[in-house]
Amino acid sequence: MTQQPPTADELLRAVTDTFDTPPGEDDSLIAWGLDSITLMRIAGGWRRQGVRVGFAELAKEPTLRAWRTLLQAHIPAVGAPDPEPTRPAPAPGTAPGTAPRTAPGEPFPLAVMQHAYWIGRGDETALGSVAAHLYVEFDGPGLDPGRLDTAVRALADRHAMLRARFTDDGRQEILPALTRPATTVHDLRGLDDKAAAVRLEELRQTLSHARLDIEAGEVFAVHLSLLPDGRARLHVDVDMLAADALSYRILMSDLAALYETPAAPLPPIRTSYPDYLAERAEVRRLSREQAGEWWRRRVPDLPSAPDLPLVPEGERADPTRVTRRHHWLPPGEKHRLTARAHRHGLTPAMAVATAFAETLAAFGGRQRFLLNVPMFDRRGSHPDVDLLVGDFTSSVLLDVDLTGDAPFTTHARRLQDRMHTDAAHADHSGVEVLRDLSRHRGEQVLAPVVFTSALNLGELFDTGVRRCFGEPVWIVSQGPQVLLDAQVTEVDGGLLLNWDVREDAFPPGLVDAMFAAFHGLVTRLGTDDTVWERPVPELLPPDQRAVRAAVNATDGPRARRLLHEAFFTRAAEHPGAPALLWGEQGAMTYGELADRALRCAAALVARGVRPGDTVAVALPKGHDQITAVLGVLAAGGAYVPVGVDQPPARRARITATAGFTVALTDGRPFDGADALPVAEACGYAPLAEPVPGEAEQVAYVLFTSGSTGEPKGVEIPHRAAVNTLDDLNERFAVGADDRALALSALDFDLSVYDVFGLLGAGGAVVLVDEDDRREARHWVDLVHAHGVTLLNCVPPLLDMLLLATGPGELAGLRAVLLGGDVVGTDLPARLAERAPGCRFAGLGGTTETAIHSTVCEVTDGRVPTHWRSVPYGTPLRNVRCRVVDGRGRDCPDWVPGELWIGGDGVALGYRRDPARTADRFVERDGTRWYRTGDLARYRPDGSLEFLGRRDHQVKLRGFRIEPGEVEAALARHPAVRRAVAGLTRGPGVQLAAAVTAAPGTAEGELRDWVRQALPPHMVPARIAVAGELPLTANGKLDRRAVRALWEAGAEEPAHRAPGTALETVVARVWADVLGADRVGLDDGFFALGGDSVLATVIVARLREALDTSEVTVRSLFAGLTAGGMAERLAAEEETPGRLEQVAAIHLEIETMSAEEVDSALRDA
């Protein structure tokens, strides 16, 4: 008789019967409480009844009406063939419709997730050296050790996977019995309470971070601590290779039953884990292929993991230590959260997942990233599958995209839709997608941030477990290649939020701040309706906000004077004091300089210059240049420096934008303006006094390079420049006895301090001739001749000066101010050697914020080891700073973001460019800010760390790379003074670097150094070693010239062929397995398309070829090149030289025909 298929109404009745009141036909079932796990169960149940409706189809439109239409289209007709894929014929003794049973003791393959766990246990893998395991402590009534031991043995008899053994070739087998004691007892009853507590803590630290001996069949451990008060603590550790988190619940429930009522039989389990794997492999074959193809199309566009701040691997005290943070929402808060989620069409799990994602975005500085989401996926056809213990998990790589300033609900719904779509293709698991990504990007890709939801799976431990063993007082899980695992589960009617974290991988305080922000957001979602309808605000912890407020409390005196005003006051009071010094004996007094400036001003007024007009200054360095600048300001104008070496085209663009009609020159003509030689101007009768002006008038316009190729004219008012000068002069006690060496060009803003900082304080400016701007030895002569006490320049110029001097040779210097570029950590100590007692300050800022905005002083030349460069430090007087993310929210400590600078130092804007001005200069909360485009981050003490230009960031093979991190790693090499990194151009783009280093420093040595500090994708393929790096006219690093330097030697790296027999065999096996034409000794495993599964295949092939079991996956991952693997095998073999001999024989046999082999065997 033909079986009648179920009707749509019958199938839907099984759904509606779970509700107290039936939903309406068009009601969202998610709003009624269905979640992803329930949807998967429904789809799985219907599939077993012959109706092949997928998870994604149910999730797309979760209403009864839509599902009825869907079911009517998918219910098979009477007599239709079985829609499930054809399965193998049943073996004798097996029930029809089941896969053949795996014989006891017969090895069987690892599931996908098991394989990832197994690979990750190795010491050589990234974020490895850790077992995937779950450890729980229960505190409860006294337990009988003998009875417990009997129950544990019975548990192992019932669940075969508790007797599993995992072999070193990546397979598993079931042992007939336990190979070790079932329980370990710790009798603490003779200790006092304090001693017992110490011993319990020791046990916790040992057991919670153990790696069980899985090759010997140790996949779980049960310890019993007998306590002084008659109670007991039960410690249960299970390796997730043998049992996933849901299986942990099953085995604990069974253990409680076997302990409490050993005579009462448990329901029989008539299937097994290996049989389940065999069945699912066949059933999923077609869907896995389809899902794999779907994911592979998406791989090129997938983002990377969250970019959380991390401690460099070499600096982590204990890289494997995992700690837990937890927060419990009581039942009332859970119910309110659930109700609000359903009202917004969301599952509670996705609401919590979105809160986690928002936290990651806020603390990672990136709005799009991959989240690793485990799935509890038992979809076997046998009714007893739900009783099994094993690893049934799969995973989804969830593409989280929180870009845009959208309300929380909008982001959550988008994430839920993405999750439903991705989960529908989970037959190609997240582990396999990571392998695809690794092949695509040419190196191993990880997804080390995990979100695990166990909602709708019931209480974590049932009442029988708690009655028998007590309350779970300590839970921690670990996983290989996992940094952070966030979990949400149901406990005591409420929600338990857990984070298991590799503690030492993160900077101090970061995880605590993140977790507080996360559970605070989840709590607000349950109590405040408005949170759902607004974008998530900044998640800055209150203590960090207080520190920021303190360092930004910079209000101080505001001198509303003009930039040149202090100079003319000094000139009137001390006309005979030296103002300018040059050469061996050249000098000009304040009175002489003021007279020349007022004559120049008179000439400009006569040429029609009026207050606010711009005037070009196109002169080489020297006293005429200073005269011209002061003359322009005294005439009420704003000076515009135009370098004498400017190309004509750029000079024309500056002229058009600045709008000047007069140019002060050395007698040369100036296209587009009336050229007025300074010598001629000084022939005019001087003005009686400078033309009056206002502090908000433009003092100067400096042109900087624009990203569009058009120079940008930055308009700096008197108010902004004077604010900077007054702070620095007061901070460093600059006065009449000081002499500053003026190295900077006039069109570079550091020159503003050289001129007006010193002349406003009564000091003297020591001038460098245009021809001597690059002659450091001449600078030393000027320092000695004129008693220079102060140096304000970019770091490369100080480096040049230090190279030109010996110890103590700059003893007259009392303060060095560095800005305009990254300040290397080597400079303070080198300066202290040549100028003992000299103050050293690194300053941060931009042309748009009046020279300098922040300061960090280094004392005694001592620099903390963790500094990548001298930090920007803290704001100057009347300056404010922020570090913001892509949504304009303040970034927490350690998190990179864009630096915003506000306060009195901010420019008026860009000359005749209102659109760019509006884009870069913004107003927030009553403060005008300049968006610098610089990347920075706050440290917990409130100091700012400069990380580089945002537009200098590069992306290579899907990885976002901050060149500053590569440069810092190179600069830590003892022989390196300075480093710069970036990408080569043209086809075959590579990461490259150039360094200034001691003679004899080899490129290979530097690359090996970087490999110890950075991941493979951040190791430069090319490192050019030079005595000096090229500089711009302003003394900054010339990145274009540096690129030419490293590209000069960026030809394709030479192929290094195998030499020894062992190297040849290894390389040939690699080539065969990886499908490569040839494999050189230095070719990378992942760059050749390798993954963890292919690594296992290579190991098996090499074991056969070399007739040894000494080849392991660890020997491959230790070097990740064929040459490295061969070297590791040779170094670790028990009989030195044996592998080389076997390899030679193998190669000889390879060249022989079958007949020749047979003949050789007969002869032998």
Instruction: Tell me what pLDDT residue 85 has.
Output: 41
Instruction: Tell me what pLDDT residue 727 has.
Output: 97
Same domain, yes or no: 1120 and 1006: no
**Which of 527, 549, 571 represents a domain boundary (last residue)?**
549
37 is a domain residue: yes
Same domain, yes or no: 1045 and 1069: no
Listed range (129-133, 531-535, 957-961, 1028-1032) with the worst mean pLDDT: 957-961
Instruction: Tell me what pLDDT residue 60 has.
Output: 67
369 is a domain residue: yes
Bridge partners of residue 1081, in order along the sequence? none
950 pLDDT band, cuts 50/70/90, is confident
Instruction: Tell me what pLDDT residue 404 has.
Output: 87
Backbone angles phi, psi at 844, to 5 degrees: -115, 150
Whole-angstrom distance, CA of residue 205 vs CA of residue 196: 14
* Three-state secondary structure call for residue 137: strand
Residues 579 and 765: beta-carbon distance below 8 Å: yes
569 is a domain residue: no
95 pLDDT band, cuts 50/70/90, is very low
Higher pLDDT, 1028 or 44: 1028
- Residue 87 structure tokens: 């399965």
Mean pLDDT (whole number) for 186-202: 94
Residues 409-422 pLDDT 10s: 999 999 999 999 99
Higher pLDDT, 807 or 1011: 807
Instruction: Tell me what pLDDT residue 321 has.
Output: 85
E strands, 687-814, in order? 698-704, 712-717, 739-742, 764-767, 790-793
Domain that holds residue 1043: 959-1052
Selection from 4-8, 86-90, 174-178, 599-603 with the highest mean pLDDT? 599-603
CA distance to 579, 818, 932, per residue, from 1038 (Å): 33, 18, 20
Listed range (92-106, 685-699, 903-917) with the worst mean pLDDT: 92-106
850 pLDDT band, cuts 50/70/90, is very high
Higher pLDDT, 235 or 170: 235
86 pLDDT band, cuts 50/70/90, is very low
At residue 1041, does pLDDT exceed 80? no
Could you tell me the CATH number of the domain that includes residue 982?
3.30.300.30
At residue 755, what is the residue type?
V
Instruction: Tell me what pLDDT residue 98 has.
Output: 36
Instruction: Tell me what pLDDT residue 986 has.
Output: 55
User: Angle CA(637)–CA(640)–CA(645) in degrees, nearest 5?
Assistant: 150
Residues 293-339 pLDDT 10s: 999 999 989 999 999 999 887 788 888 888 899 999 999 999 999 99
Residues 372-389 pLDDT 10s: 999 887 777 788 888 999
At residue 33, does pLDDT exceed 70? no
**Residue length of the chain:** 1164
Residues 365 and 938: beta-carbon distance below 8 Å: no
Residues 968-978 pLDDT 10s: 788 888 888 88
Whole-angstrom distance, CA of residue 430 vs CA of residue 449: 12
Same domain, yes or no: 394 and 366: yes
Same domain, yes or no: 417 and 465: yes
Residues 177 and 187: beta-carbon distance below 8 Å: no
Bridge partners of residue 373, in order along the sequence? 396
Mean pLDDT (whole number) for 636-657: 90
Mean pLDDT (whole number) for 1151-1162: 63
3-state secondary structure 332-359: HHHHHHHHHHHHCCCCHHHHHHHHHHHH
Higher pLDDT, 1045 or 866: 866
907 is a domain residue: no
83 pLDDT band, cuts 50/70/90, is very low
For the chain, how many structural domains are there in total?
Answer: 4
Instruction: Tell me what pLDDT residue 596 has.
Output: 97
Instruction: Tell me what pLDDT residue 1089 has.
Output: 75
Same domain, yes or no: 413 and 538: yes
Same domain, yes or no: 1015 and 1092: no
Residues 531 and 408: beta-carbon distance below 8 Å: yes
77 pLDDT band, cuts 50/70/90, is low
At residue 761, does pLDDT exceed 90? yes
CB-based burial, 54-92: b 16+ in 10 Å, e otherwise: bbbbbbeebbbebbbebbeebbeeeeeeeeeeebeeeee
Higher pLDDT, 1056 or 665: 665
Instruction: Tell me what pLDDT residue 94 has.
Output: 37
Could you tell me the CATH number of the domain that includes residue 41?
1.10.1200.10
At residue 118, does pLDDT exceed 90? no
Residues 477-494 pLDDT 10s: 888 888 999 999 998 899
Same domain, yes or no: 1030 and 1143: no
At residue 179, does pLDDT exceed 60? yes
**What pTM, to 2 d.p., does this model score?**
0.82
Instruction: Tell me what pLDDT residue 376 has.
Output: 82
Mean pLDDT (whole number) for 421-443: 85
Q: How far is CA 484 from the centre of its chain?
A: 13
Closest CA to 104 of 274, 258, 322: 274
Beta-carbon neighbour count of residue 719 at 10 Å?
Answer: 24
Same domain, yes or no: 1143 and 1037: no
Bridge partners of residue 954, in order along the sequence? 961
663 pLDDT band, cuts 50/70/90, is very high
Same domain, yes or no: 998 and 1139: no
Mean pLDDT (whole number) for 91-104: 42
Percent with pLDDT over 90 in the chain: 52
**Which of 480, 514, 549 represents a domain boundary (last residue)?**
549
Higher pLDDT, 149 or 952: 149
465 is a domain residue: yes
Residues 6+ apart with CB under 8 A from 172: 107, 108, 109, 110, 114, 164, 165, 166, 241
Whole-angstrom distance, CA of residue 617 vs CA of residue 606: 17
631 is a domain residue: no
Percent with pLDDT over 70 in the chain: 90
Listed range (719-723, 835-839, 980-984) with the worst mean pLDDT: 980-984
Same domain, yes or no: 472 and 536: yes
Same domain, yes or no: 392 and 495: yes
98 is a domain residue: no
CA distance to 247, 815, 830, 985, per residue, from 467 (Å): 19, 73, 69, 68
Closest CA to 518 of 409, 356, 366: 356
Whole-angstrom distance, CA of residue 528 vs CA of residue 523: 9
Mean pLDDT (whole number) for 285-290: 83
Mean pLDDT (whole number) for 420-447: 85
User: Angle CA(774)–CA(780)–CA(781) in degrees, nearest 5?
Assistant: 105
1031 is a domain residue: yes
**Which of 58, 74, 90 represents a domain boundary (last residue)?**
74
Q: CA-CA-CA-CA torsion for 306, 312, 314, 316, nearest 10 degrees?
A: -80
959 pLDDT band, cuts 50/70/90, is low
Residues 148 and 185: beta-carbon distance below 8 Å: no
Mean pLDDT (whole number) for 235-252: 93
Same domain, yes or no: 1036 and 1090: no
- The chain-wide mean pLDDT, for the chain, equals 86
Whole-angstrom distance, CA of residue 194 vs CA of residue 1148: 69
At residue 953, does pLDDT exceed 90? no
Could you tell me the CATH number of the domain that includes residue 488?
3.30.559.30
Instruction: Tell me what pLDDT residue 90 has.
Output: 37
Instruction: Tell me what pLDDT residue 360 has.
Output: 96
Residues 352 and 497: beta-carbon distance below 8 Å: yes
At residue 611, does pLDDT exceed 90? yes
